[in-house]
Chains A and B, each alone.
Chain A
Amino acid sequence: DAKTTQPPSMDCAEGRAANLPCNHSTISGNEYVYWYRQIHSQGPQYIIHGLKNNETNEMASLIITEDRKSSTLILPHATLRDTAVYYCIVRVGIGGSNYKLTFGKGTLLTVNP
């Protein structure tokens, strides 16, 4: 699986958009970008994933650059409950034989009142 690079920490004001970047310059054509988050003392939580098109769900939006070497997770209106470590992970999707998720250190997002 391709390696990802994320900033160790970011701050965001409550109610503002939080934009979390991720670099994955060695991503392969059949690898998806996944985002998970881990709120303190809880298990990781799946947020969103994508291959090359931008994706949106009830939690967040995922913007993937055209060359697929980087992506941005957007929380449109961050709340205090969004304070967590956010992990960007690249993994082969359908048709792959390696199903595991390899977690890096992630980005600690702190949402301030």
Chain B
Amino acid sequence: DARVTQTPRHKVTEMGQEVTMRCQPILGHNTVFWYRQTMMQGLELLAYFRNRAPLDDSGMPKDRFSAEMPDATLATLKIQPSEPRDSAVYFCASGLVVGEGGYTFGSGTRLTVV
């Protein structure tokens, strides 16, 4: 089965450091999402792209977070500077929204900021 690949799977970093999370969407999928999950807030949408263009990033703290798609095979989510409250699991998902089908999620990046 095709899958969405996220790297790294786990990341521990010190407060103030830059963090970059990567996502390889399924080949041919034109829509990519970034979600964040915490116990308190559940799954929150941070940003999403269609055909590599950002459609909505209203869920993302603009001062420290940035999301890009340098090409169709790579999406990145950066946090600079990182803070302890950014500790969460970050999921990437991809899909084809021309049709009705569901989206495929990656296994996530577990980020711990100490």
Query: Which among A34, A45, A99, A103 is the interface contact of B55 at CB below 8 angstroms?
Result: A99
Interface of B is mostly: strand
B45 touches A102 (CB 8 A): yes
Sorting the interface of chain A by its residue count into under 10, 10 to 19, 20 to 34 or 35 or more gives 10 to 19
Q: Are B107 and A101 in contact (CB under 8 A)?
A: no
Which of A34, A42, A100 has most B Cβ within 10 Å?
A100
- Taking a contact as CB atoms under 8 Å apart, the answer to whether A44 and B91 are in contact is yes
Query: What residues on B are CB-neighbors of A103 within 8 Å?
Result: 35, 42-43
Which of the residues B4, B99, B103, B108 comes within 8 Å of A94, measured between beta carbons?
Answer: B99
Q: How far is the CA of A66 from the CA of B35 in the complex (A)?
A: 33
Question: Does A105 lie at the interface of the complex (its beta carbon under 8 Å from any beta carbon of B)?
Answer: yes
Out of B33, B98, B101, B107, name the residue touching A100 (CB < 8 Å): B33
Knowing A44-B43, A44-B91 touch, does A99 contact B100 (C-beta < 8 A)?
no
Question: A94-B100, A103-B42, A105-B42 in contact; A43/B105 too (CB < 8 A)?
Answer: yes
A49 and B107 CA atoms in complex are apart in Å by 22
B102–A100 touching, CB < 8 Å: no
Q: Which residues of chain A come closer than 8 Å to B98, judged between CB atoms?
A: 94
Known: A99-B31, A99-B48, A100-B45. A44 touches B99 (CB 8 A): no
Question: B29-61: contact bitstring with A at CB < 8 Å (1 yes, 0 no)?
Answer: 001010100000011010010100001100000
Contact indicator B105/A49 (Cβ below 8 Å):
no
Q: Are A43 and B55 in contact (CB under 8 A)?
A: no
Residues in A whose Cβ lies below 8 Å from that of B31: 99
Question: Is B100 touching A43 in the complex (CB atoms < 8 A)?
Answer: no
Q: Is the CB of A100 within 8 A of B48?
A: yes
| Residues from chain A with Cβ under 8 Å of B103 in the complex | 46, 101
Docked Cα-Cα span, A10 to B55, in Å, equals 36
Task: Check if B25 is an interface residue, CB within 8 A of chain A.
Answer: no
Q: Give A85 Cβ to nearest chain B Cβ, in Å.
A: 9
Whether A49 and B100, one on each chain, are in contact in the complex, defined by CB atoms closer than 8 angstroms, is yes
Question: Does B102 lie within 8 Å of A43, measured CB to CB?
Answer: no
User: Does B97 interact with chain A (Cβ within 8 Å)?
Assistant: yes
| Interface positions of B (Cβ within 8 A of A) | 4, 31, 33, 35, 42-43, 45, 48, 50, 55-56, 91, 93, 95, 97-108
